[in-house]
Amino acid sequence: MDSLDAFAGGKLAALEAKSLKRTLVPTGRTDGVHVERGGKTLISFSCNDYLGLSHHPRVKAAAADALARWGTGSGASRLVTGDNPLIEDLETRLARLKGAEAACVFGSGYLANTGIIPTLTGEGDLILVDELAHACLWAGSQLSPADVVMFRHNDVDHLAELLAETRAAYRHVLVVTDGVFSMDGDLAPLDRMVPLCAAHDAWLMTDDAHGVGVVGGGRGSSYAFEATAKPPLQMGTLSKAIGGYGGYLCANKPVIDFIKTRARTVVYSTGLPPANAAAAIAALDLIESDSVLVGEPVRKARLFTAALGLPPAESPIVPVLFGPAEAALTAMRALEAMGFMVVAIRPPTVPAGTARLRFTFSALHSDADVLRLADAVRALLAKAAA
């Protein structure tokens, strides 16, 4: 065996020994909530397609029309020939939804964060990151020569302390956080963070991958508080409640124009396929016109948390912690045997000792299935504790 295979094989064996090896399982999503896996059909409580829009007839038809007209790919970077007019229509729609002057669409949410952060920060700047922020916010921060410091999860006092201590020593400070935390389902306290950051002339950026379409009446976490708490940088993805693929940033026009000129993941990556832009526009039509649909995922999540005696869900994401990775895997297999697809989330996606089942709720789940699932989980927790 050559050294490359030996290196990879050794790494895999070490992960396997810690129950941390991951494997891909071919999974066909046949509608918004059912998946086919290994010849079985399961109800998924692991998809982020919170509104089932990936299979909505109007969204699929819009994608099919754009596909027939414009083909499968955009052909080049947006700055060359890849800026299909649908992408600009989509940007207008996203900016309106978020109450921003302008928007920039990227190939994915990951590409958005790894493009935005190093474009807005450099030598002599500081990036403050919530300790539970999504991996691609960390990845984007690591691409910047700026100093990177974490603050304790959702701890506004800690953030205030760090800003007071460090602000004067840096040219610019960027503060980054999930709007809705992807593995915990809680909301960042934007009602306190927005004024705090403004008072220190620090730029606040929210990653609202799990907020748009499902909280704040569908407009995302900036709109989830009594008064609008809108940071100057609102990033998000088209890949979750919007049901397709792609990412975006909403901000004031000079910021967006600068990102379009300089963000490496815009300049050096191919434009979003036109059919994805068309699908996202159709999904936004539905999100903006159906407030009942938009409220359903959180309602289902609250049905689940109430049945289990957990604090009321703030978003469609509910974690149930099992601690050791092996315990979460055992619970996952038991639920799968009952027809439920709920994926165990293990380190390094979550901190060591906090392996969990991460439940996500869809507008398309029936209340009966949610309650049946809660019964099954209650039994598993009792067994794990015994």
What is the binding site for ligand PLP (CB under 6 A)?
108-110, 134, 136, 178, 182, 207, 209-210, 237, 239, 247
DSSP label at residue 13: H
Based on CB atoms, which residue is closest to ligand PLP, 327 or 341?
341
Smallest distance from the beta carbon of 240 to ligand PLP, in angstroms?
Answer: 6
Q: Which residue is nearest to ligand PLP (CB)?
A: 109
Based on CB atoms, which residue is closest to ligand PLP, 210 or 230?
210
Name the catalytic one among 46, 141, 182, 269: 182
Contacts of 191 (CB under 8 A, 6+ apart): 225, 226, 227, 229
Residue 240 annotated in active site: yes
Joined together, the tokens standing for residue 297 give 């995922």
Smallest distance from the beta carbon of 163 to ligand PLP, in angstroms?
Answer: 23
Based on CB atoms, which residue is closest to ligand PLP, 110 or 223?
110
Based on CB atoms, which residue is closest to ligand PLP, 237 or 315?
237
Smallest distance from the beta carbon of 218 to ligand PLP, in angstroms?
Answer: 17
Smallest distance from the beta carbon of 133 to ligand PLP, in angstroms?
Answer: 8
Name the catalytic one among 240, 260, 300, 365: 240
Name the catalytic one among 210, 230, 300, 365: 210
Based on CB atoms, which residue is closest to ligand PLP, 136 or 241?
136
Sheet containing strand 340-341, strands side by side: 28-29, 34-37, 40-44, 340-341
Helix boundaries (H) for the chain? 3-17, 57-70, 85-98, 109-120, 135-142, 156-166, 190-199, 253-262, 264-267, 274-289, 291-308, 325-337, 367-385
Distance CA 293, CA 271 (A): 30
How far from 222 is each of 21, 117, 182, 375, CA to CA, in Å?
Answer: 37, 20, 16, 34
Smallest distance from the beta carbon of 199 to ligand PLP, in angstroms?
Answer: 26
Contacts of 105 (CB under 8 A, 6+ apart): 87, 90, 91, 94, 238, 246, 247, 248, 272, 277
Residue 158 annotated in active site: no
As beta bridge partners, residue 321 has: 356
Residue 253 annotated in active site: no
Residues involved in catalysis: 182, 210, 240
